[in-house]
Structure 1
Amino acid sequence: MEQHEVPEKPWRKIVADLFTLFGKNFLVVVDYTSNYPEVAKLEDLSSTNTISHMKSIMTRHGLPSVVVSDNGPQFSSREFRQFAMQYGFKHVTSSPEYPQSNGKAEQAVQIVKRLLKKAKENDEDPYQALLNYRTSPLSGSDRSPGEISMNRKLRTKLPSAEEHVTMHKLPDIKQKRYYDHGSNQLKPLETTDTVRVRGDGVWSEKAQVLARVAPNSYLVELEMGRRLRRNRRYLLKTQERFVPVHDDDEREKEVCVDPPSGGATASTNQSAVTPEAAQSSHSTDQSQPVSTMSDVRTTRSGRIIKLPSRYVHD
């Protein structure tokens, strides 16, 4: 089978042939570079009718430099030679006694026949069958005849490159579904919620939620005042009371008693005790000393600190 040079650009070299199917005559024209087929039903087998359909095909794809065909009467006529001169292409014919040398044409005829037969058997649109072939990647390539010929992807009813983007997302969606199925969906935290922060495998320090900075990320403040950003999975909500610790009163026991108001004197600023307790103490031991201003310790915020009994000396 004769090998023809394949040009780099489509529709510079084409092959033409005729065939009969279902009692009708057809013209097939194929581009050497892209294998893109054009098919036309012939009203008759005259050169005039054949040339008319070839002109229609050429004006859609551009004028070729070379046209390859067999030596059939439609292509060997004087009318076809005039057509070649008028449209400016070189006409190359196969050997008269060996038409199989035009292998490209023979291959194209077999492909088109198979497509039309299958469409008829399945009661399908033959034009859709041709379109599907034109948009199917060639063997050994990821590009279709239509894409090579027109430098773009042709839209069809079949899944296209645009749908592939959505199809590629499906595995990611399934993966997320499987992950969510095997994991507990943690409830969002609210501002001021008290949590335990996970560190080194244990729920250690207590903190308070300050803000939600991302769908699963929170800004929290530890009782010592340090701020952290943690993922939701590293925060455990708790019903514990959040008590911020300052440098002044760290490790000291606080009593929530309001500080004295106004310009108090030493005689009025006694230890923070109730009247009943003071009366009872006065009646039982008149000699017990009363805490003066110098004995009273307060925090920076003004709260009075009551020392544990083991630190009070008689």
Structure 2
Amino acid sequence: MLSHELPTRPWQIVSMDLFSHRQKDYLLLVDHYSDFWEIELLPDLSADTVIKRCKSQFARHGQPDKVITDNGPQFGSLFKRFSLEWEFDHVTSSPRHPKVKGKAESAVKIAKNLLHRAARDGADPWKAILHWRNTPTENMDSSPAQRLMSRRLKTSIPVTNRLLQPSVTLGVTEKLRHRRQLAKHFYDRSAKDLPELEIGESIRMKAMPGEASGRWRRGTCLQQVAPRSYLVDVEGTLYRRNRVDLRVAEPTSSAAFDTQPTHTPTPHTTHTSALEMQPTPSMPQTPGVVFRPALPGPVAPPALGQQHPPPTGTYTRSGRLSKPPQRLIL
């Protein structure tokens, strides 16, 4: 498993994602150090609106060193210009491979769950978000608010004034490293690294979603744009794909990707067919009946007991013999 570098301070690495809930669009930003996330309601999905919401959050928490997003239209050339002006690295994930921004995907799942429950119960969603931010994270001994702001947030739950005083949370990076090492240990038990592709190597790309054929199309590897992410040329069109969606094109087995393997009769099958078509003179030639002589092979083991023909009668669907009741006839 390949992970992002460990952050050493809050708001150093930020992931972003867009999501919809009840016909409303939101922008979510999550901090990799504290797991603290912010959501912004979007009036539209234009790149200019997304950039304005990002500027508002960066003015509150500071400029990040790295921002991780997908390849949506909101994160194109305008967002690239924004990253140069605000001096942060913009890293995009491979299409159809959302694991690169798994932190944002996980935060979106939590945010949707809170919004759904608040709407179902008729409660204030912002209070639900406040309580989540103030809840300690498992195996971290601190809440997202404590790791980001170095203090607990005041809620409707009674608490002493001493607990609301600022206090820097120490050892966050080491605990994050331990969590990642544990996750990597269990993930690598059933996974392995794929070999890197060579520039100019013939490859096959996994079919796009919705393609009826499901055929792996042949192409050429042009460039490695990121770890495990490649730019390939498939039938004159450029694609960016993760290594799991690409395979090395083997000339000897190329037909296995395009068509189903044809059945080649074995010598045993051919011999049987010839015997079926050419009966001997001693065989009774009954129309519509094919005589199949016994072929040499392993002798079946003898039966343990004498086999009797099954009794005639009515059987249930489970195979049990149905016996009619014996009635008294006077």
Q: TM-score, normalised by structure 1?
A: 0.50
Alignment match, 1:44? 44
- What does residue 87 of structure 1 align with? 86
Indicate yes or no: 2:11 matched with 1:28.
Answer: no
In the alignment, the residues of structure 2 paired with residue 13 and residue 54 of structure 1 have an alpha-carbon distance, to the nearest angstrom, of: 14
- Secondary structure of 1:52 counterpart: helix
Equivalent residue of 2:108, what SS?
A: helix
Q: Residues 232-261 of structure 1, C-alpha deviation per residue, up to 9 Å, x if partnerless?
A: xxxxxxxxxxxxxxxxxxxxxxxxxxxxxx
- In the TM superposition, what are the counterparts of 1:60-79 in structure 2 within 5 Å? 60-75=60-75, 77-79=76-78
- Match of 1:127? 126
Q: Secondary structure at the match of 1:4?
A: coil
Q: Distance in 2 between matches of 1:97 and 1:124?
A: 36
Alignment of 1:137 onto 2:136: yes
CA distance in 2, matches of 1:32, 1:122: 31
1:98 Cα offset (Å): 1.0
Instruction: Note closer, same or farther for the CA distance 1:2–1:74 as it changes in structure 2 (3 Å cut).
Output: farther
Rg larger in structure: 1
Residue 118 of structure 1: aligned partner:
117
Task: After superposition, give the CA deviation of every residue in 1:5-50 in whole Å (9 maximum; x if it has no partner).
Answer: 2211000110000001101100000000000010001000000000
User: 2:119 is matched by which residue type in structure 1?
Assistant: K
Residue 157 of structure 2 aligns to a residue whose secondary structure is coil
Residue 58 of structure 2 aligns with an amino acid whose one-letter code is M
The superposition leaves residues 170-205 of structure 1 with CA deviations (integer Å, 9 ceiling, x where unpaired) of xxxxxxxxxxxxxxxxxxxxxxxxxxxxxxxxxxxx
Shift in Å, 1:112: 0.4
- The 1:122/1:93 distance shift into structure 2, 3 A limit, reads same
Contact 1:2 1:103 in 2 (8 A): no
- Return the alpha-carbon distance in structure 1 between the equivalents of residues 137 and 160 of structure 2: 16
Counterpart in the other structure of 1:8? 8
CA distance in 1, matches of 2:49, 2:160: 39
Deviations 1:133-182 (A, max 9, x none): 111001112211011101111111124354989xxxxxxxxxxxxxxxxx
* Aligned AA (2:156): K
- Secondary structure, in 3 states, of the residue corresponding to 1:29? strand
Distance 1:98 1:118, change over 3 A: same
Amino acid at match of 1:108: A
Distance 1:62 1:148 in 2: 15
Distance in 1 separating the partners of 2:36 and 2:59: 15
Distance (whole Å) between structure 1 residues aligned to residue 72 and residue 112 of structure 2? 19
Check whether the contact 1:18–1:26 (CA below 8 A) recurs between aligned residues.
yes
- The code of the aligned residue for 1:74 comes to Q
Identical positions, percent: 41
What residue is the counterpart of 1:59 in the other structure?
Answer: 59
- Aligned residue number for residue 209 of structure 1: none
Name the SS of the counterpart of 1:41 in structure 2.
strand
C-alpha RMSD of the superposition: 1.8
Q: Residues 193-226 of structure 1: CA distance to partner in whole angstroms, max 9, x if unpaired?
A: xxxxxxxxxxxxxxxxxxxxxxxxxxxxxxxxxx
Are 1:2 and 1:102, in contact at CA under 8 Å, matched by a contact in 2?
Answer: no
- C-alpha distance in 2, partners of 1:82/1:123? 42
Structure 2 stretches of 5 or more lacking a match?
Answer: 165-330
- What is aligned with 1:237? none
3-state SS, counterpart of residue 130 of structure 2: helix
Alignment of 1:206-285 (within 5 A): none
Q: Paired residues, what number?
A: 164
CA apart distance, 1:119: 0.8
Q: Report if aligned partners of 1:2, 1:101 keep a CA contact under 8 Å in 2.
A: no
What are the Cα deviations for residues 57-115 of structure 1, in whole angstroms up to 9, with x where unaligned? Answer: 1110010000011111111x211011000100000111113123311111010000001
Taking a change above 3 Å as real, the CA distance of residues 139 and 118 of structure 1, as seen in their structure-2 partners, is same
> Any unmatched runs of 5+ in structure 1?
166-314
> How far apart, CA to CA, are the structure 1 residues paired with 2:110 and 2:140?
18
**Aligned residue number for residue 253 of structure 1:** none
Secondary structure (helix, strand or coil) at the match of 1:102 reads: helix
Q: Confirm or deny: 8 A CA contact 2:152 2:163 kept in the other structure.
A: no
**Contact in 2 for aligned 1:68/1:93 (Cα 8 Å):** yes
Q: Which amino acid aligns with 2:33?
A: T
Partner of 2:71, secondary structure, is coil
Give the TM-score taking structure 2 as reference length. 0.48
Does the C-alpha gap of structure 1 residues 162 and 13 become closer, same or farther in structure 2, counting only changes over 3 Å? same
The one-letter code of the counterpart of 2:67 is V
